[in-house]
Amino acid sequence: MPIATRDGISLGYEEYGTGEPVVMVTGTGAPGRMWRTHQVPALTAAGHRVITLDNRGIPPSDPCPEGFTLADMAADVARLIEHVGAGPCRVVGYSLGALAVQELLLARPGLVRQAVLMATSGRTDALTAAMTAADLELSDGDGKLPTRFAAYVKALQNLSPRTLNDEERLRDWLAVFEMSAVDPAGARGQLGLQLIPDRRPAYRRITTPCLVIGFQDDLVVRPHLSREVARSIPGSSYAEIPGCGHYGYLENPAAVNSAIVDFFSGGRLDGLVAPHKPRLA
């Protein structure tokens, strides 16, 4: 279903279930359907109405080749909440999506009842800057890697050693990566948005109850960066999922879903979340 933003940009979104609304915002290059396999069933079973967003640059949302900002992404989430009549609601953001949600919490706090921030950061460190520069250079070249090589690199970047050392599971993951390669042209507008100044002092003004989730083996957003965000937001909780890489919400969805549902139901989580038996996305 499309909606139009105030600046005329068309955004795609989907709704599932009924009950208390939860808006979910994905990371760089990912469509909203990434939540559909694991998080949507768990949240709808817990009595939530789930609304997933396709961020700018990701079809069917407009590509926005002229570029956009993190503030634009935060405004898009606000527009979606208003469009579906969901505010104040719960919001879940992952990676780049979490950065957008953090800006939403500062700009429009009245729209958000609770927030979950997964694999997030509050500043750009040297490794993030180097990774982003490499991604931009690749995108501005021909933007194409051989499919098998791209899948191998994606596995190394995003999966935990536990998954990489499980040959059967790794073969399944590599097959998924080969079949679901992201169009670099579509994701180009999102590259570089994670290059942010140190926002930790600003996060001290956030009053929305927040759960920050880090993934123990995340090489893209190392968990110490997520812990920094949790320390910056007054009263926030932090949960770290063991044995997961950057794709922790797909590597160990049971643990991630349990943490989200428990938080939304009034629980407070701090420290390590006990691992659950992982399932392949």
In three-state secondary structure terms, 23 is: strand
Whole-model pTM: value is 0.91
Residue 110, judged by CB atoms within 10 A of its CB (0-12, 13-18, 19+), counts as exposed
38, 62, 76, 95: the catalytic one is 95
In a domain, 266, yes or no: yes
In a domain, 136, yes or no: no
Residues 102, 144: Cα–Cα separation, whole Å: 32
Would you state the pLDDT for residue 190?
87
Counts for the chain of helices (H) and strands (E), in that order: 12, 9
In a domain, 83, yes or no: yes
Total number of domains constituting the chain: 1
Which structural domain range is residue 215 located in?
Answer: 2-127+186-272
Residue 94's CATH number: 3.40.50.1820
Q: In what order do the strands lie in the sheet with 210-215?
A: 2-4, 10-16, 48-54, 20-25, 89-94, 112-118, 210-215, 237-241, 270-272
Residues 106, 119: Cα–Cα separation, whole Å: 19
Would you state the pLDDT for residue 179?
79
Would you state the pLDDT for residue 6?
61
In a domain, 158, yes or no: no
Would you state the pLDDT for residue 275?
40
In a domain, 214, yes or no: yes
Would you state the pLDDT for residue 279?
31
Q: Are 74 and 66 in contact (CB under 8 A)?
A: no
Phi-psi region of 44 (alpha: psi -120 to 50; beta: other; left: phi over 0): alpha
Q: Write out residues in the chain with pLDDT < 70, as ranges.
A: 4-6, 142-143, 181-186, 267-281
54, 62, 76, 218: the catalytic one is 218
Residue 252, judged by CB atoms within 10 A of its CB (0-12, 13-18, 19+), counts as buried
The yes-or-no answer on residue 142 being catalytic is no
The yes-or-no answer on residue 218 being catalytic is yes
Strands 20-25 and 48-54: parallel
54, 72, 217, 246: the catalytic one is 246
In a domain, 110, yes or no: yes
Strands annotated E in the chain: 2-4, 10-16, 20-25, 48-54, 89-94, 112-118, 210-215, 237-241, 270-272
In a domain, 267, yes or no: yes
The yes-or-no answer on residue 72 being catalytic is no
In a domain, 64, yes or no: yes
